[in-house]
Chains A and B, each alone.
Chain A
Amino acid sequence: MLFVVLVKQVPDTTEVEVDEETGTIIREGVPSVLNAFDEFALNEAIDLKERMDEDVEIIAVSMGPPQAKDALKKCLAIGADSAILLTDRVFAGADTWATAVTLGRAVKKIGDVDVVFAGQEASDGNTAQVGPEVAAQLGISQLTFVADIEKVDKESGHIICKKETDEGHVRIKAELPAVIACMPEPGFEPKIPNVRDIMKAKKKSLDEWTFEDLGGDEEEYGLDGSESVVIRTYSPPPKGEGIKIEEKPEIAAEKIIEFMEEEGLL
């Protein structure tokens, strides 16, 4: 069986700084890490591999600049069997759709993939669109908010997952192949690679694929292939201080109405 895990390298900070002019994230000098949800997705893939009787191969795939190799190296150390970096000037400036086009093409080229693992969302872009868009690209099942994978049964052609919802959990069965967007439950602790794992990773293959490898038209990729246009990027102004009314409910309700009238909100 073949699993592909889509991983993104993100800045190691909760305070992303954005270049006001270009609207892109300032990456210089900011250390990068593997997106936490993608690390979870990879851990799930490895966990599943260890539980299954048949042979499973795990390939980590990332689109990004050459530095994104660091994130893939980490995936190899954690336990991916090989990795592919999609890197080319043509891919640069991609929005979520163009990102999904690139990733989808790569999955197609790898061929015969049973499950594509993605994170639910990336901690920098936060759109949660890429996973589902890749599924749309490939025309296969998609499951989101996956917290656990019960089993993947190639014979019956199904995957069964535990999916988080606002009310709790649901068990979901979907047809293979499938894209699953994973999100850990609180308290999840990823596997920490040891020195041996890290040195073993050095011997695993880490390929680079460019536009030439994926084919198609240049216009489908990167900035040209992006349907959306960034007009302006800004941080929302901080919320002003609220008011707090500590009264019996009836009085509080009256005061709120009064306040809203004063502010012209009604």
Chain B
Amino acid sequence: MARTKLSDDRDLTEEQKLFKESINDWAERNFPLERVIRINREGHPFPQDIVEGLAELGLIMVTVPEEQGGMGLTWSDQIVIAEQLGYIDPSIATAAGFMAVETGWGFTINRYANEEIRERYIKPAIQGDKFVGIATTEPKGGSDVAGFESTGEKDGDEWVLNGEKTFISGVEECRRMGGGYWVNVRTGPKIPEAPHKNMTAFFVPIDTDGVQPQEPYDDAGRGSLSTSGFIMEDVRIPDEYMLGEEGKGFYYTMEGVDNARILIGASSVGVTRRILEEAADYIKERETFGRPLAKYEGIQFPFVERYIELEASDLMVKKVAKMQDQRYDEEGWLERTGKAKTYKPTEIAKWISMIKYKVPHLAKDTADDAMHWLGAAGYSSEYIFETAWRGVMSYCVGAEGGANIQKLVIARETLGKDYIPYK
């Protein structure tokens, strides 16, 4: 029987179609589902040959401008790549490590980094030779981004950083490959009514003296990518490794979060699509009571409902990517032309939160459904569903912001600021 295909690429550009084709051809050869499942069981660090393959395909940080070593692609192009990485690796490890983190955050680091960081870390990361990531979360600052406690004190032309970062993606990979993290610290007093003030972002190379990586967590899913943390004890970082301006870290962080969340939405579309295709192949073949499972409404109706949600999500992600393209195109527009921007950043953030909430949950729920449709087979790691379920759950519980945090953003933008629950 011909394999079920649920994608329709006719609305993509010729280049976007070719991106997808290349990713699929490469995965068929080097990274089939069996390998995705196996490496998730074997655990991290993430296989270096796959990182190199992604780099050779030119997929890492494609939105970085060409003159800085990237491809200068749009977010509309970028989401096609992110979706397809979710499709080929529904455990989400590849897309989490190399889209959400390296590309979403890497692009943002690049914007605020000096030439030296670009040359020593960003360009090699694009080549697959280094890893760059984000370390905002702390024992006392998860959802409450501004609740962090790490500090930075100026000492001559250096800064001395202290504190602890937890639940950080890719620390093991970063140790193996070299690289570093975007780290937020407080460089002034904590102002109770404005705790986000005095947050400053630095780029901290992982091999700097005083950076002490911790044991990786034994996570439920995306086993091929490590999650860990590090303690910073008198870590000395030169002035030039500050990202952007002093005290503006919170705003840069919100921008980075937005970029990462778009790619999470896109890759979760890919995960959902793959789950539905794999499940369709099974339910069309498997017979009970003399008929294929796909003939029973108890199976085909929920299948259809998930499919509708998938296509709706796909359209939303495309809309959001266009908004983000507009945001960057219109940068400095007000100063240049006197024209107001099309969207306020907070409006874009609302849409981004909508996909960050909706699509990973859809992927998780679809995997859950598929396990029901398959019965015992679905529960076994021979099929991708349980690996996918455990992987996308990371985005529901917290990675790049928990579910309720997205709802807080959406409520703030729809009901108004007066209804922010924690104020």
Residues of chain A whose beta carbon lies under 8 Å from any beta carbon of chain B = 13-15, 31, 69-70, 73-74, 77, 189-190, 192-196, 198-199, 201-202
Given contacts A70-B17, A73-B14, A198-B15, A189 and B29 within 8 Å (CB-CB): yes
Q: Is B225 in the interface zone, CB < 8 Å from A?
A: no
Which A residues are in CB contact (< 8 Å) with B58?
A: 194-196
8 Å CB contact of B59 from A189, A195, A199, A201 = A195
5 pairs from A and B in contact (CB 8 Å cutoff): A73-B15, A189-B29, A192-B29, A198-B15, A199-B71
Are A193 and B14 within 8 A (Cβ)?
no
Which B residues are in CB contact (< 8 Å) with A199?
A: 15, 71, 73
Residues of chain B whose beta carbon lies under 8 Å from any beta carbon of chain A = 2, 5, 9, 14-15, 17-19, 21-22, 25-26, 29, 56-59, 62, 71, 73, 81
Which B residues are in CB contact (< 8 Å) with A190?
A: 25
Are A195 and B29 within 8 A (Cβ)?
no
Which B residues are in CB contact (< 8 Å) with A201?
A: 15, 18
10 shortest interchain CB distances as A-B pairs: A195-B58, A194-B58, A198-B18, A73-B14, A194-B57, A196-B58, A192-B25, A192-B22, A198-B15, A192-B26
Residue of chain A at shortest CB distance from B16: A198
Given contacts A31-B5, A77-B18, 18 further A-B contacts (CB under 8 A): A13-B2, A14-B2, A31-B9, A73-B14, A74-B18, A74-B21, A189-B29, A192-B29, A192-B57, A193-B18, A193-B22, A195-B19, A195-B22, A195-B62, A198-B15, A199-B15, A199-B73, A201-B15
A195 to B57, CA, bound (A): 6
Are B18 and A73 within 8 A (Cβ)?
yes
A189 to B28, CA, bound (A): 11
A192 to B71, CA, bound (A): 18
8 Å CB contact of A69 from B5, B14, B29, B56 = B14
Are B2 and A15 within 8 A (Cβ)?
yes
> Shortest Cβ distance from A212 into chain B, in angstroms?
25
Which A residues are in CB contact (< 8 Å) with B59?
A: 195
> Shortest Cβ distance from B21 into chain A, in angstroms?
7
Given contacts A69-B14, A70-B17, A194 and B29 within 8 Å (CB-CB): no
> Shortest Cβ distance from B345 into chain A, in angstroms?
28
Do most interface residues of chain B lie in helix, strand or loop, or is the interface mixed? helix
Which B residues are in CB contact (< 8 Å) with A13?
A: 2
Most buried by B among A193, A195, A202: A195
Residue of chain B at shortest CB distance from A195: B58
A14 to B2, CA, bound (A): 9
Which A residues are in CB contact (< 8 Å) with B26?
A: 192
A193 to B22, CA, bound (A): 6
> Shortest Cβ distance from A9 into chain B, in angstroms?
13
Residue of chain B at shortest CB distance from A77: B18
Which B residues are in CB contact (< 8 Å) with A194?
A: 22, 56-58
Given contacts A192-B25, A195-B71, A202 and B15 within 8 Å (CB-CB): yes
Given contacts A70-B14, A192-B26, A198 and B19 within 8 Å (CB-CB): yes
> Shortest Cβ distance from B336 into chain A, in angstroms?
27
A190 to B21, CA, bound (A): 13
A190 to B2, CA, bound (A): 23
A15 to B58, CA, bound (A): 34
Residue of chain A at shortest CB distance from B5: A31
A193 to B5, CA, bound (A): 23
A194 to B81, CA, bound (A): 12
Most buried by A among B17, B21, B73: B21
> Shortest Cβ distance from B409 into chain A, in angstroms?
32
> Shortest Cβ distance from B24 into chain A, in angstroms?
10
A13 to B58, CA, bound (A): 28
> Shortest Cβ distance from A46 into chain B, in angstroms?
16
> Shortest Cβ distance from A67 into chain B, in angstroms?
10
Which B residues are in CB contact (< 8 Å) with A195?
A: 19, 22, 57-59, 62, 71, 73, 81
A201 to B58, CA, bound (A): 15
Residue of chain A at shortest CB distance from B59: A195
> Shortest Cβ distance from A81 into chain B, in angstroms?
17
A181 to B293, CA, bound (A): 46
Residue of chain A at shortest CB distance from B1: A15
A15 to B2, CA, bound (A): 8
Are B29 and A198 within 8 A (Cβ)?
no
